[in-house]
Structure 1
Amino acid sequence: MSRWPPRFPVRRAASLRTFEFALERNGLGPVAGVDEAGRGACAGPLVVAACVLKPTQLVSLADLDDSKRLTEATRETLYKAVTRYALSWSAVVIDSAEIDRIGVHVANIEGMRRAVAGLDVVPGYVLSDGFAVPGLTVPSLPVIGGDGAAACIAAASIIAKVTRDRIMVAMDDEVPGYDFAVHKGYSTAHHMACIDRHGPSAVHRMSYRNVASRAASDPDSTTIGLSDEC
């Protein structure tokens, strides 16, 4: 009985397309990358994106990298290029209430499955950043440091990060007093001081310990399934 997915050597390439090129050479394309933004935040949504790049390397995507290593201006430029030139892309937004209900890891995995399902093309293979994604209908491989090692994951990382940052900037107007446009919902000292001053808001993740501890004196707050993520 043959092994699936098949084993094959991955030859070193001078770009982030090494994994994609190897898979496509062996008939396993198109290759989708998936990544998330906001897992470590304690307020706002989790955004998960999937992306399939065209087989040819585009000059406009030459700066692709882990979104966390890029400046905001570079991410915005790459976001426009990726969403314009990618073969297909998809983004899924999971709000704080759902994260509290099912847990951030489950929400992340479910978001990755939904993002892949939302692509306009059916991938032959999926590369994920860091950990396996069970339940996909096609073969997949977790890549350690994937958003800095595979172009399709880097592209998904940029889509997820820019999408979430835009949501948090808009949330700053909708939920004033927390400066979400500054810290994007992550646990900075300034953000924690805002929670201490105003208490947690409706967009905070009540299942996160640092939020729950600040809501302990609020009888309307609930803390189910406390998480150490933030």
Structure 2
Amino acid sequence: MFFFEEHYRLLGFKAIGGVDEVGRGPLAGPVVAACCILREGMDLPEGIDDSKKLSRKKRRVIYDQLRDMDGVDYALGLVEPEEIDKINILQASHLAMRKAVEAMKVDADFLLIDGLPVPGFKAPTRSIVKGDSRSISIAAASILAKEFRDDLMAEYALEYPQYGFEKHMGYGTKLHMQALDEFGPCPLHRRSFAPVRKAENEFK
């Protein structure tokens, strides 16, 4: 998990940021990205890994630890459903990543990006397929983004309780699809996604 960070430190880079996003697949809510720089030699929480591999309880513990630790610099970037519908989910994911990097108080001099190449960064980058399970910085970013987004969806559930956002986080579960059929889409839904568009047309 430290290979990429150590490799680029040996090449002279000091502030290496891991970048990951969550929320491409849901039918509702924003896409959220995080950029995270971990100070060299710091004591990290045990069990940092791809957020999808961790239980909610374990992921939450690590999330709280990362937020409170000296030596962890991070920032988040969000793209809301309305903008997702305008520019498509791939471009929205890239935009969220750039927003997260731009929001950093500490400028990264090198970026490790989860997945395929993402354009538009000022710093040099390395794209890593399945980077959230191969790079400690990307894994930390995935946890920060995932927990932040889950908390946000739980807050939205208070405003739109009929959809059960706190249970499925906007993904197209059976419960969510039933709510869409019954109530139609709300402002958090992504109209450019086929199931939402279908539900909206049928609800009219």
Q: Write the distance in 1 (CA, Å) between the matches of 2:199 and 2:12.
A: 53
In structure 2, the residue corresponding to 1:137 is in which secondary structure? coil
1:80 aligns with 2:47: no
Q: Write the distance in 1 (CA, Å) between the matches of 2:68 and 2:201.
A: 46
| Residues 120-153 of structure 1: CA deviation (Å, up to 9, x unaligned) | 1121210111111211111101101001110100
Residue number in structure 1 paired with 2:146: 161
Aligned partner of 1:97: which letter?
A: E
Q: How does 1:10-159 map to 2 (within 5 A)?
A: 16-58=1-43, 60-85=44-69, 86-159=71-144
| Residues 81-111 of structure 1: CA deviation (Å, up to 9, x unaligned) | 2122243100112211111111111111111
Q: Write the distance in 2 (CA, Å) between the matches of 1:51 and 1:32.
A: 5
Aligned partner of 1:195: which letter?
A: L
Residue number in structure 1 paired with 2:180: 195
Q: Write the distance in 2 (CA, Å) between the matches of 1:30 and 1:148.
A: 20
Residue number in structure 2 paired with 1:13: none
Note the aligned Cα RMSD (angstroms).
Answer: 1.2
Residues 1:209 and 1:195: Cα distance change in structure 2 (over 3 Å): same
| Residues 32-82 of structure 1: CA deviation (Å, up to 9, x unaligned) | 011111111010111111000011141x42310000111111111111121
Which one has the bigger helix percentage? 2
Q: Write the distance in 2 (CA, Å) between the matches of 1:46 and 1:112.
A: 10
Q: Whose RCO is larger (CA < 8 A, sep 6+)? A: 2
* CA displacement at 1:218 relative to structure 2: 4.8
Contact map agreement 1:20 1:29 (CA 8 A) in 2: no
Residue number in structure 2 paired with 1:207: 192
Residue number in structure 1 paired with 2:159: 174
Q: Which runs of 5+ in 1 are unaligned?
A: 1-15, 220-230
Q: Which runs of 5+ in 2 are unaligned?
A: none
In structure 2, the residue corresponding to 1:73 is in which secondary structure? helix
Contact map agreement 2:181 2:203 (CA 8 A) in 1: no
In structure 2, the residue corresponding to 1:185 is in which secondary structure? coil
Residue number in structure 2 paired with 1:10: none
Under a length normalisation based on structure 2, what TM-score does the superposition of the two structures give? 0.95
State which structure, 1 or 2, has the greater radius of gyration over its C-alpha atoms. Answer: 1
| Residues 204-229 of structure 1: CA deviation (Å, up to 9, x unaligned) | 0000011101111355xxxxxxxxxx
In structure 2, the residue corresponding to 1:128 is in which secondary structure? strand
**Count of equivalent residues:** 203
Under a length normalisation based on structure 1, what TM-score does the superposition of the two structures give? 0.85
* CA displacement at 1:175 relative to structure 2: 0.8
